[in-house]
A and B are shown apart, each in its own frame.
Chain A
């Protein structure tokens, strides 16, 4: 078994005749077909991506605490209000094991930069023995947060921080009636932080692993607190805190130095890869006249031979598809690259036929669209790979305003772009000198961004799933991110 050649073989097998490649070529016919399927399915996946909503600032499906857990609270010592958002100590405290403590209904979500919640002290009661913090799932529900292992709490009566035992450490001011006090976890720095009346009190290293529940406590007669899990605006500006934290990370990252002109090279190779020829010409012209001129010589390591292939043809085909002239694109392909459209059941042909159908719908030629669909699309209905996309296409006919329907994504510009990208990749793959199949599929830029995303995800998963993931979409749409 030789795994290393898996992604590194020739796609066009007749171009080489030396001994190493003939070994690879012995099974390259099978591989080649498999690769072409991969390529097709890659673009089908991209076409489907259009129907999915882009990732927003959502918290990746993790649910946040919304209310207090009345089942697992120290019943008898406290009363939780009917809205499950406030507690009152109704007993008389006698010792250290009759604390009125209550956790949130869910642990703090972890797949984010920070989690935060707040309390407001309504009545300080007899002694003001109020606490706020985080505890693990099996916390002893008659003790203050911080007094027991795997917990951390900031206490109102003494302003001390308790971490796992009954002896507190100097931390911040005391707090009492009318104070708003918050507790948070910063997953990037692995720290707990506490606030009082809009200001940070202090931070401490988070030495507790596993899920952590927001926890509040009362421990003397008539103490009453209200908890805010974000249903009301916080007193503390958590958004500003997060922004500051991102800036801090960004500052560390900005100190890293890059090879000279690397960004120019990557942009240039992107333009070449996708056949944006006019842009490339302007870009090159301008690069020459900048002061000092930008030169990308061979020593920079850019290998452009492969993506120079058929640049002008690729540009023309992209233009045709972007203009919705699918027939013209088909005939040009038949003339110049018949192998790309040879297999009528391939993903490439499928996407082109779909696009032709979509263009007919776009201009309102519905009868013609139906005719075309019967001739060219019906055969794809029975093929599992294509079924869902065909159905989406056909359903465009059912709506008076197809653009507003669930299949409206098909009428977007981005759908044309996907088809153009598919054809572009298929033409690159006809290059007899193509060394690597990946090269036809992904631009350098895309490969780097995929590596970045994968590294961030892997790092987070090795870190107990804590912290923010990297989403290009979010970076691009958050214009203050790098300021």
Chain B
């Protein structure tokens, strides 16, 4: 009965789209064979790229999946990331250079952002004089080379002009999100230097699913998965 009213609804709408019932769609889904080892690789790739080193080690043992990167390098990378997240930028820079000095040498933008973060931390800690000195000696010469660096520098130094930084227009620089942004930039640069992709594949595949469903919507009516977190098929005849 539900099917009939569904079809009537479609005819009323004058839709020319192909209609695929839940039953037919489930048959198609059953024809798709996903290899377990491929799913395991996908999960391993996520653990490794996101830096879950212990979990990656356990997963290797429990599933027999080999990681696509030397697990020991994850620990170093996560230490750098954490240092930035906690505001220990000087420490982070040192650690990056220990890992591979080329990373900062070949990434002037990353190096500038790290130095900028260092300046932000000095200002946060009320070390005004030290901050000014650091800005003049380390950051200003780079601003002369590059217009966008200069603008960033001006924005950051502007923090010093406000008594109450929580209410000033550049206050967002003091947010946690700024540290996270810088941390993820360093993380990506280290991964790239290790010939590894900087992003895990899983989120890209999830986006691809959303995209593929949107594309198919133009041509067909079929059971979609609306909520990725439950992976539940919606019944097109129920709507």
Contacts and interface: CB of A to CB of B under 8 A. Distances in A.
A453 B42 contact: no
B34 A449 contact: yes
Given A4-B235, A301-B227, A456 B212 contact: yes
A250 B33 contact: no
Interface in A247-280: 250, 252-254, 256, 258-259, 262-263, 265-267, 270-271, 274, 276-279
Interface string A415-442: 0111001000000000000000000000
B125 to A, nearest CB: 18
B151 interface: no
Contact of A250 (B20, B41, B203, B204): B204
Interface string B1-32: 01100000000000000101011011011001
B197 A282 contact: no
Contact of B86 (A49, A291, A446): A291
A451 B225 contact: yes
B77 to A, nearest CB: 14
A476 B212 contact: no
A276 B225 contact: no
Interface stretch (A212-220, A364-372, A457-465): A457-465
A409 to B, nearest CB: 12
B128 interface: no
Interface residues of A, number: 75
A209 to B, nearest CB: 15
Given A270-B39, A475-B201, A413 B64 contact: yes
Q: Is the interface of A mostly helix, strand, loop or mixed?
A: helix
A54 interface: yes
Given A454-B25, A479-B197, A473 B52 contact: no
Interface centre among B36, B61, B64, B180 (most CB of A within 10 A): B36
A303 interface: yes
A14 interface: no
B29 A266 contact: no
B229 A267 contact: no
Interface string B200-228: 11111111111111011001101001011
Contacts of B26: 7
A452 interface: yes
A265 B86 CA distance: 25
6 contacts: A49-B33, A282-B58, A292-B176, A414-B36, A448-B206, A463-B219
Interface of A: 3-4, 6-7, 45-46, 49, 54, 250, 252-254, 256, 258-259, 262-263, 265-267, 270-271, 274, 276-279, 281-283, 285-286, 291-292, 300-303, 315, 318-319, 322, 413-414, 416-418, 421, 443-459, 462-463, 470, 472-473, 475-476, 479, 482-483
